């Protein structure tokens, strides 16, 4: 049965684990992304998730009396997703953990920071993951949509790199964005970097269907129509944006997805616990203790029309 982070939190009685889940839920994407499990009907579970992706849509037609419909079948392609292990570890001296608490509680602080990094890594792999380049990664959106009908590439870059250019080119930009949305079977989230998000904030002053909505966590989330805008931030441990900006031309992209069990969703081995926290054992021998945060996950794209990208947007 699919599970969300909010549901996973209700199943956990561990305060520190719940804090980690809260950290992940600060992402409007992660808060709404359902995770299916890999539990098999015959029992047990696996690190492989097999599903059918719809690649040819169904048709319908009329027919004359005493004649038959022309047969046509929806075509699916079997896809295999291999779950990957994300996270990290930290080490702390037991004296620091037990006796040095003037500023922070060190174990909780390290767990919190490792959780932020793991969330950033999941966002990174969601966009840029490529198991053909690095076998420890799962395949991301960029690999899935490149060369597809939902990859929109304008003939010339759309310049939105200044207030003047935003005013001049906003209609051309919104036209191309609507072309992307029109190619898809629905959009729940638009994923972008910080500079692109700042452009949308400027557009919110000029376009009526760009608005802020306060979510259940008290955050103000920017929406374009029915789609939540998600600022994915930076790669873990760096100042490099997850969705890159071309160094020479200043161009970036917006990724669009429809979250759902028949669209884009997460995959995990277990239906109850999405994120594991392994705390240092202060009772074991040894001066230096190790803690870990771990997430075993991947993404599935059930329909080709549930993910897309708009490229060649100049933001700097």
pLDDT tens per residue across span 161-215: 999 999 999 999 999 999 999 999 999 999 999 999 999 999 988 888 898 888 7
Does residue 19 have a pLDDT over 80? no
Give pTM, 2 decimals.
Answer: 0.87
Q: How far apart are CA 179 and CA 114, in angstroms?
A: 39
Bigger pLDDT: 282 or 132?
A: 132
Residue 76's pLDDT is what? 85
- The structure tokens listed for 193 are 């970097």
% of residues, the chain, pLDDT over 70: 91
From the list 280, 305, 301, the residue with the least C-alpha distance to 290 is: 280
Residue 181's pLDDT is what? 96
Mean pLDDT of the chain: 89
How many other β-carbons are positioned within 10 Å of the β-carbon of residue 168?
A: 12
Phi and psi at 201, nearest 5°, equal -60, -40
Does residue 103 have a pLDDT over 50? no
Domains and CATH numbers, the chain: 5-58+75-140+266-300 (3.30.2400), 151-261+304-314 (3.30.1930)
From the list 106, 124, 126, 160, the residue with the least C-alpha distance to 242 is: 124
Phi and psi at 57, nearest 5°, equal -80, 155
pLDDT band of 223, cuts 50, 70, 90 = very high
Tens digits of residue pLDDT in 82-95: 999 999 999 999 88
Residue 57's pLDDT is what? 78
Does residue 277 have a pLDDT over 70? yes
From the list 283, 293, 295, the residue with the least C-alpha distance to 97 is: 283
Does residue 32 have a pLDDT over 70? yes
Does residue 102 have a pLDDT over 60? no
Tens digits of residue pLDDT in 40-84: 655 667 788 888 887 787 899 999 999 999 999 888 888 888 999
Q: Which distant-in-sequence residues (6+ apart) come within 8 Å of 35 by Cβ? A: 2, 3, 4, 265, 266, 267, 268, 274, 297
Total residue count of the chain as it appears in this document:
316
């Amino acid at each position: 049965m699919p599970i969300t982070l909010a549901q996973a939190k209700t199943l956990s009685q561990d305060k520190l684990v719940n804090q980690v889940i809260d950290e992940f839920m600060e992402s409007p994407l992660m808060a709404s992304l359902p995770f299916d499990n890999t539990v098999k009907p015959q029992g047990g579970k696996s690190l492989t998730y097999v599903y059918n992706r719809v690649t040819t849509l169904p048709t319908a037609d009329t027919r004359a009396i005493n004649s038959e419909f022309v047969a046509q079948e929806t075509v699916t392609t079997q896809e295999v997703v291999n779950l990957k292990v994300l996270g990290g570890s930290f080490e702390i001296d037991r004296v620091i953990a037990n006796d040095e608490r003037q500023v922070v509680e060190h174990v909780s602080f390290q767990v919190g920071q490792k959780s932020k990094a793991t969330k950033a890594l999941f966002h990174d792999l969601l966009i840029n993951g490529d198991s053909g380049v690095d076998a420890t990664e799962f395949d991301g959106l960029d690999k899935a949509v490149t060369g597809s009908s939902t990859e929109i590439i304008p003939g010339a870059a759309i310049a939105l790199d200044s207030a003047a250019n935003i005013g001049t080119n906003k209609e051309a930009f919104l036209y191309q964005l609507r072309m992307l949305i029109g190619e898809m079977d629905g959009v729940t989230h638009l994923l972008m970097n910080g500079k692109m998000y700042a452009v949308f904030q400027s557009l919110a002053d000029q376009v009526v269907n760009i608005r802020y909505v306060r979510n259940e966590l008290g955050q103000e989330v920017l929406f374009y129509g029915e789609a939540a805008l998600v600022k994915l931030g930076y790669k873990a441990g760096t100042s490099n944006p997850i969705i890159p900006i071309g160094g020479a031309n200043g161009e970036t992209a917006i990724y669009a997805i429809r979250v759902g069990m028949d669209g884009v969703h997460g995959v995990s081995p277990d239906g109850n616990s999405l994120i594991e926290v392994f705390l240092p054992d202060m009772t074991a021998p040894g001066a230096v203790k190790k803690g870990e945060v771990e997430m075993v996950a991947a993404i599935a794209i059930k329909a080709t029309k549930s993910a897309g990208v708009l490229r060649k947007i100049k933001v700097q």
